[in-house]
Chain A
Amino acid sequence: MKTTRRMLVAGAASTAILLGMPWAHAQETINITALVEQTGAIAAAGQDIGRGIEMGIDTVNASGRLGNYKIVADVKDTASTPATGAALASQVASSDSIAILGPALSSVAMAVAPIAQRSGVPMIAIQANTAGLVETGDHVYRLTPPFYTFNGLTYKYLAQQGLKKVALSYISNIPSVTGLGRDFAPKWIEANGLELVAEETMPVNTTDFSTTIAKLVASNPDAIGLYNLDTQLPALISGIRRAGFTGQLFCYAISPATLSAVGDAGDGIVLSIDYSPALDDPSSVEFTKAFGEKYGGTPTIYHANGYDSVLFLGAALEKVIAGGAKPDRENLLAAMAEVAQTGIDGASGHLRFDSQTHRDARVAGVLVQYKGGVPSVLLKGDPNVEEQ
């Protein structure tokens, strides 16, 4: 009787304790910070990246791979300015946030990276194509393959099509884009037996392209390459077509809004890219389908880049948690290095990392052609080659 009473008391007490301990079943949070350009020069890209991050977090949290943990992101707007980015990074350093996702603008990423490195916060940059970013230190990763690692595909395609003469237009004061037009394109042109017949440069704030267009078309090229911002492309593409150029147009990035603005003038345009809705890798197809179901519409490259950054973070966190360690900055960093050895399958297909720093992502890349605003894959990069 006495024993039974004791057992009842003990059972009741246990039940009471369990019921009174909500944390026993509640998920623990892993706080991270997303530094996203929600306003300013690259607000359109930044907002897409933000949505990609959101989708990535939902996907990782719903997968159950993090056990009793869930990722919670504090999204901050860098306003596309390095000073704001640096200030926010300093706040992250003294917070309980264990990682920084982003930023996307090279100048902002370059301002944030040293702070992340000094503070011991793992940083996963998105886009930020500038040279020297991951070289900041072992805490700085970049999940978007730099343009120069897959843009050479375009010139392979031009050569395959039997084209000979190429004219280029590029922005003169955005390092990552300028580098493509000024430094890499001439090498690719030479490597593929093509000839550079015109080279036109302009500052990023240019709004009038009439003389540039006249000079490009007058050089009588077979193809014209546009290393210009998306906002400049409508005037350039429409103007070049109105000037009577019927040859091949190519660029390094173009948005659905710009394709819509130029209409038929954009038909046939090609570009090499790390993600396209036309990609047929299983992980890419899965992402494109899931995005459509969740948000409607077709994802952009920026959605894909944001999503992939979270998949990488999620894979590293999974390793930390599976090993029974605490998901803190130090353990996360070690796990990121492990994940980088094998890479991940994400929206852009199989993402691996460069052989030098092992922190800079690489993909095979694809060359797509647009018709009626819809892309189709014409050429795939070699997955065994680091730079196409």
Chain B
Amino acid sequence: MLAEQLLVNAAVLGAVLTLFALGLSLTWGALDVLNLAHGAIFVASAWVATRLANSVEVPFVALLVAGMAAGALLAVVAELIAFRPIRRLISNKRQAELSMVAATVGFGFVIDNLVGRATSHQVFSFPIGAFEFRQYDLGVFKAFNIEIIIFATAIIGALLLNYWIMRTRQGMAIRAIAFSPRIAPLLGVKVDNMAALTMAVSGALAGLSGSLMVVWTSGMDISTGHSLLLRAFAIVVLGGVGSVKGCVLAAFLLAAVETGIVAAGYGSMRDAAAFSLIILVLLFRPQGLFGTGRAMRA
């Protein structure tokens, strides 16, 4: 097999993991919400996009937007019905974090159940022809259009997210919340609004990655979100919670390791090897590759 093909495979897998993990990293870093419903939102958004595509003929971009909107909506609903009340009612930070994790598990189960019922727990997909696959020669590489789209979307998405967090007033407000949700309001930050906005962006990222992935894999079911969630969790920890750069680097590192292991003929060991590497890195950098402490998160 050509090494170039392996590079393409690793790059696309890294991009998929990046898109998925960015949303998880954002809410965990900024709001202290380890959103274990992220996988369920990812699948539900993809399902909404496929339902739309099966109902009306719309451009592919519109399907992506629908997936993003569905993801954003679900994440905001979670914020309004669960996270915000917890933030208000529980003053103990550690207790609030644990309560929010429990709430995300519950919210994820509800979404999974609804999507499972709607799909009869079967594979769902875009209708044939909703996306036309084409292969392109890019010098020494060969890649399909969906792979190029996923890669470009992940890179552009990460750059935009990084810019938003680091260079805009809203990003500054989010970083203030990440530093201290109690001090942030004293600086004029509307914590509730910014939390809802952060959740919406996180959900939109889940929706975007879900809608793209269901094209790439030709179908998914609710288990797909669970599989990705564990790896995304590892990526966020490895990259440093809240770090966009760390998230991207860790996603591509994990993808490279997994691709290399499969190429070497040890496919059944891909999870074990990848997570062993993560443990190894964390032994030397417990804060993750780009984790620099709470003050710099988000």
Contact = CB atoms under 8 A, between A and B. Distances in A.
Contacts of A203: 268, 270-271
Given A43-B121, A261-B125, A212 B218 contact: no
Nearest to A213: B9
B137 to A, nearest CB: 14
A215 B12 contact: no
Nearest to B50: A261
Interface in A223-240: 230-231, 233-235, 237-239
Contacts of B216: 235
B217 A215 contact: no
B292 interface: no
B116 A201 contact: no
Most chain A CB atoms below 10 A, which of B16, B119, B128, B267? B267
Interface in B115-134: 116, 119-125, 128, 133
- Chain B, interface size: which category? 35 or more
21 contacts: A44-B221, A46-B121, A172-B267, A203-B270, A203-B271, A206-B270, A207-B217, A207-B228, A209-B217, A210-B9, A211-B9, A214-B6, A230-B123, A231-B221, A234-B217, A234-B219, A238-B218, A257-B120, A257-B123, A261-B218, A265-B218
Contacts of A234: 123, 125, 217-220
A254 B224 CA distance: 17
Contacts of B268: 172-173, 201-203
Contacts of B6: 211, 214
Interface stretch (B68-76, B236-244, B257-265): B257-265
Given A238-B217, A262-B219, 20 more contacts: A200-B262, A201-B267, A205-B223, A205-B230, A205-B271, A207-B217, A207-B224, A208-B16, A209-B217, A211-B262, A214-B6, A230-B123, A231-B221, A234-B125, A235-B217, A255-B122, A257-B123, A257-B219, A261-B124, A265-B218
A237 B219 CA distance: 11
A208 B13 contact: yes
B193 to A, nearest CB: 35
B219 A235 contact: yes
Nearest to B260: A211
Q: Which of B144, B213, B219, B223 has the most CB of A within 10 A?
A: B219
A77 B113 CA distance: 13
A206 B269 CA distance: 11
Given A39-B113, A39-B116, A203-B268, A210 B12 contact: yes
B295 interface: no
A44 B267 contact: no
B1 interface: yes
B158 to A, nearest CB: 19
B227 interface: yes
B254 to A, nearest CB: 11
A235 B124 contact: no
A356 B100 CA distance: 55
Could you tell me the dominant secondary structure of chain A's interface residues? helix
B9 A214 contact: yes
Interface residues of A, number: 41
Interface of A: 39, 41, 43-44, 46-47, 172-173, 200-203, 205-212, 214-215, 218, 230-231, 233-235, 237-239, 242, 255, 257-258, 260-265
B175 interface: no
A180 to B, nearest CB: 15
Given A210-B13, A212-B262, A205 B125 contact: no
Interface pairs A-B: 3 shortest CB-CB: A172-B268, A234-B219, A261-B125
Nearest to A207: B227
A255 B123 CA distance: 9
Contacts of B16: 208
B122 A208 contact: no
A258 B133 CA distance: 18
A146 to B, nearest CB: 22
B226 interface: yes
Nearest to B262: A211
